[in-house]
Each structure stands twice: as C-alpha cells, then as structure tokens.
Amino acid sequence: MASSRTKKKPYGPMILMGGISAVIYAALLMNQEAVNDYMARGGIYAFIPIVIAFLVSFVHGSFTGNFWTVLGIEASKKKTEVK
Amino acid sequence: MHDIVNAATNFIQLDAINMTYLFLVGFVGGLVSGFIGSGGAFVLTPGMMSLGVPGLVAVASNMCHKFPKALVGSLKRAKYGQVDVKMGIVLGISAEAGVLYGAHIQESIKKAFGDAGSNLYVSVAFVVILAVVGGFVLKDAWKTYKSGTTNDEEKVTRLAKWVQSVNIPGTMVYFKCLNARISILFTIPLGFATGMLAATIAVGGFIGVPAMIYVLGAPSLMASATELVIAFVMGLGGSFKYAMHGLVDIRLAMIILGGSLFGIQLGAMGTTYVKPFVIKVVMGVIMVIVLFSRGLMVPVYLAQLGLIGKLGETTVKALKSTSFAIMIFALAMGAFIVLRSMWQGRRAEREAIAKGVLEHGKV
C-alpha cells in the first residue's frame, strides 16, 4: 500500500529531457541568422521546420509531462469515464 | 510569390520581452487547447502581428506550433481513453481540403476588395459563426447546469440520432466515439467546414467540436480530444505548405510551442477532473467573448471600404486596442475556468480519498 502511495517521481527523465530541450532551444536562438536563412529558402528545405517541430514536441513534450508529475500535478486517479 | 519571398526574409528581431510574451501566450493557449481541443490561435496570430511579424508569417508560424502541440495533447488524452483516432483522421483529411478552399476564397476576396475587404470577411465570419454556434453551446451548457443533470450521461441530440440512423450502403464507418456506424457523407462536409473556418479565423475547433457533439453525437470529452487529432492533421499539411514558400519563422513557432507544451499537459489533465459540461462552458464563453472583440472591428473595415463614414484616427486606435484586449481577456477567462475547475476537482478527489481512509481505517 505504502509503495503505491509514494510513487517514485521521474526526476531523472525530467532532467535529461529538460537538458536536451535547453540545448535545442539554445542552438536555435544562438544561430538565428543561419536558421532564418534556411527557413526562408522554402522548397525541399520545408522539411527542416517540420523535423524540428517533431523533435521539440518529443523532447520538450516529455520534459513538460514529467515536470508536472514532479510537481505532484497528475490526472485524476479515478478512471476517466467517457460516456 | 515575390511578395511572399519579401515577407519571408522579414523575420523579426527577437528580444527577451518578445520571447517572454510569446511563451506566456503560448502557455495559456496550450492550456485552453488541451482542454477544449482548440483555441489560442485567435490571440497568437494577431499577437505576433503586433510585434511586427508579417501576416502570412504569423499564420504560418502559428500553424507550425499547432501541429506538434496537438500531437502531444492528443497522445496525452489518448492515455485517458478520450481520443477517436479514426474520426480525427477522417475529419482531418476533409478539413485539409477545407483549408485549401478557405485559403483560395481568402485570396480571391483580397484580390477583389483589398486588405480591408479580406479583414471584413474574416470579422463577419467570426461574428456570425461565433454568435450562432457559441450561443448554442453556451445555452446548452447553461441548460444542463440549471437542470441539475451535470452528472448524468450526456444526451445525444435528435439530429445526431437521425444522422446515426441513416444507412447509405458503401459509406458506413464505425466510430468509437459514437459507438455507432455513420455515413462518411456526413463527416466530409463537417470536416470541410472545420478546415474552412481554420483557414478563415484560425480556430477550426469552434466548428469541429460542436459538430462532433451536436451533429454526430460524440461526448464532449471525446469530441474535444479528437479535435486535437484534426488539428494535427490540418496543421501538419498547412505547415508544410507554408514552409515550402519559406514563410515559417521556426524561432517564433518553437518559443510559442515551448510555453504551450507546458499548458497543453495541464489542460489535458484538467479534463480528467471535470464534468463534461465544463468543456462546453469554456468553449461557449470564449466564443461569445471573442465575438464581441471581432464585432468591434467591423466598423473599422466598413469605413476603410467606404461603406460608412470615415472614422477618426483615435477612434480606430481605440477600437483596435479594445478588440485585442477583449481577445486576451477571452483566452484568460477560458484559462481561469480550466484552472479553477481542475483545482476544485483535485480538492474534491483528495477529500474523497481522505474520507475513504477514515471510514475504512486504511493508511
């Protein structure tokens, strides 16, 4: 009983994904000129923003999910009933 | 195309204040989207334009933050069993067609009547659609609240019952959220309308979610979660199209996404604590407030087109600022209801657990 009540908080994954997310954002913002140049090219380069968006959604999405869990904010414990 | 290229090279300089502003609006927009399936875009696009971002770049960058946000939100809500992926994809594909057609109409209006004509069309579409649909959604939520049946199973409308009863051989598909087979001939126009609205006022969910609830018979929670799948499909296609023209400012999109991924997780969790009618309350309240915001701008565009007398510069400025302030208020109000409902739900759950512990003597 006690073990289910004190579920381990995901500090490790949060720090790891938070770190990777920070690196991605730093890379984007510290190389703004080059980034803008590639974005404005269009054509086949259209894949770049799409890939970046997917990457950020995975890394940063995982970080934010764990962030709220670590803060103790989680979905309702009762089974979500969709009628 | 030349204009587009010029616009694309006009990516703005970002400073700490701009970034904080975009991050915060992204957070609030994400919170509302996680809860009702859409929202935020109506503030984000004009918000970016107010920073000096060209209109098309603002629309493109908004779209490029929308699809990854919708992906994260729909995955989260799928964990709670609220997503009907098949319905989302079927509606999303027809919505994509609606986006293309809606954009084409926009271009034709712009060519014929200029910027003021295009803005007037957008504002009138906002006012008419939000008045009809928003008014209906809010009235329904109020009726449920007054009748004291907020805990009951949501009633399927007569229209939805009829839609579910029609059998057109060769077009029938089973959808989990309806627990029924319906003809895709009904879903195609609904998806198309959702896409057209997304191309016009940036928030297709204002049609998509009520359509799934009232026309097809889906529960509010599943309709709002499935809307995130539609937003993903629409947003991915739209972003690629804009990126091909070099219009996506990835820095803007990712900063907004940075905030909105915090918000969408919270909004999605919020749906597990509330009664389904709260989804309708949040959606209806936002729609009705935004309606007033856009309504204020109608005289400005009418004057620009020469259909009414010229307005003074101060009046135009006052109307524009008030309109933008009301939009921010709409989003903030939606976020407030979401957080409040979530807070109350969490407290009620903690009290129920504490009561159970006391009654059963468990520690």
pLDDT for the residue numbered B2: 44
> What's the pLDDT score for residue B354?
86
Return the domain boundaries, chain B. 2-343
State pLDDT tens for residues A11-55.
999 999 999 999 999 999 999 999 999 999 989 999 999 999 999
Res A56: pLDDT: 97
Q: At A74, list the tokens.
A: 């989680």
Nearest-neighbour CA in chain B from A18: distance (Å)? 11
Residue B222 CA to residue B83 CA, distance in Å, equals: 6
Please name the helix (run of DSSP H) or strand (run of DSSP E) that holds residue A2, with its range, or none. Answer: helix A2-5
Distance of CA B90 to the CA centre of its chain: 18
Quick check: B86 and B176 in contact, CB under 8 A? Answer: yes
Q: What is the pLDDT of residues B4-54, one digit of tens each?
A: 444 445 688 888 999 999 999 999 999 999 999 887 777 888 888 888 888
Q: Which residue has the higher pLDDT, B296 or A58?
A: A58
- Residue B164 in contact with residue B217, Cβ under 8 Å? yes
List pLDDT tens digits, range B61-116.
999 999 999 999 999 999 999 999 999 999 999 999 998 898 888 888 888 888 88
For residue B110, give how far its alpha carbon lies from the nearest alpha carbon of chain A (Å).
Answer: 24
pLDDT in tens, B300-344: 888 888 888 888 889 999 998 998 899 889 999 999 999 999 999
CA–CA dist A39, A51 (Å, integer): 12
Choosing among B179, B250, B272, which should be mutated to test the A contact, i.e. which has the most A CBs within 10 A? B250
Which residues in chain B have their CB less than 8 angstroms from residue A52's CB?
250, 254
Subunit contact A45:B246, Cβ cutoff 8 A = yes
> How many Cα neighbours within 13 Å face the side chain of B255?
23
Query: Best residue in B4, B154, B261 to probe A by mutation, most A CBs within 10 Å?
Result: B261
pLDDT of the residue at B8: 47
Chain A: closest CA distance from residue B129 (Å): 28
User: Has the ipTM of the complex gone over 0.85?
Assistant: yes
Quick one: A29 exposed, middle or buried, by C-beta within 10 A (0-12, 13-18, 19+)?
middle
Mean local confidence (pLDDT), B125-129: 86
Between positions 29 and 48 of A, the ones with CB within 8 A of B are 29, 32, 35-36, 39-43, 45-48
User: For residue A5, what pLDDT is reported?
Assistant: 53
Cα(B45)–Cα(B55) distance, integer angstroms: 8
Q: Do A67 and B353 touch (CB under 8 A)?
A: no
- pLDDT at residue B146 tops 60: yes
* pLDDT value for B329: 92
Q: What is the pTM for the complete model shown?
A: 0.90
In the predicted model, is pLDDT for residue B123 greater than 80? yes
pLDDT at B293: 87
Q: Pick from A41, A56, A64: which is nearest to B262 by CB?
A: A64
User: Are A28 and B228 within 8 A, CB to CB?
Assistant: no
**pLDDT beyond 70 at B258:** yes
- Contact by Cβ (8 Å): B241, B233: no
Check if A22 contacts B (Cβ < 8 Å).
no
Distance from CA of B339 to the nearest CA of A (A): 12
Q: How many CB atoms lie within 10 A of CB A77?
A: 10
Contacts with B257 from chain A: Cβ below 8 Å: 53, 56-57, 60
Q: Which secondary structure element, helix H or strand E, spans residue A22, and what is its range?
A: helix A11-30
Please tell me which of the candidates A49, A54, A77 has its beta carbon nearest to residue B349.
A77
Among B240, B272, B345, whose Cβ lies nearest the Cβ of A50? Answer: B240
Task: Calculate what percentage of chain B has a pLDDT beyond 90.
Answer: 56
Residue B350: which pLDDT band, with cuts at 50, 70 and 90?
A: confident
What pLDDT digit, counting tens, does each position of B155-208 carry? 899 999 999 999 999 999 999 999 999 999 999 999 999 998 888 877 788 899
Mean pLDDT of chain B: 89
* Domain ranges across chain A: 10-70
pLDDT in tens, B213-239: 999 999 999 999 999 999 999 999 989
Angle (CA) B289 B295 B299, round 5°: 160
The confidence score (pLDDT) of residue A4 equals 47
What are the residue ranges of helices labelled H in chain B? 2-8, 16-36, 41-49, 55-79, 85-129, 135-147, 158-165, 184-201, 205-210, 220-244, 250-270, 277-304, 313-360
3-state SS class at B54? coil
* pLDDT given at position A2: 43
> Is A20 part of the contact surface with chain B (CB cutoff 8 Å)?
no
Find all residues with CB under 8 Å of B155, minimum gap 6, and list them.
Answer: none
CB contact under 8 A, B249 and A48: no
A·B CB contacts under 8 A: 134
Radius of gyration over every alpha carbon of chain B, rounded to an integer in angstroms? 21
pLDDT averaged over every residue in chain A: 88
In this prediction, residues A54-72 reach a mean pLDDT of 96
Put simply, whether A80 touches B (Cβ < 8 Å) is: yes
Residue B185: predicted pLDDT: 96
Residue A3 pLDDT class (50, 70, 90 cuts):
very low
Half-sphere exposure of A8 (CA within 13 A, CB side): 5
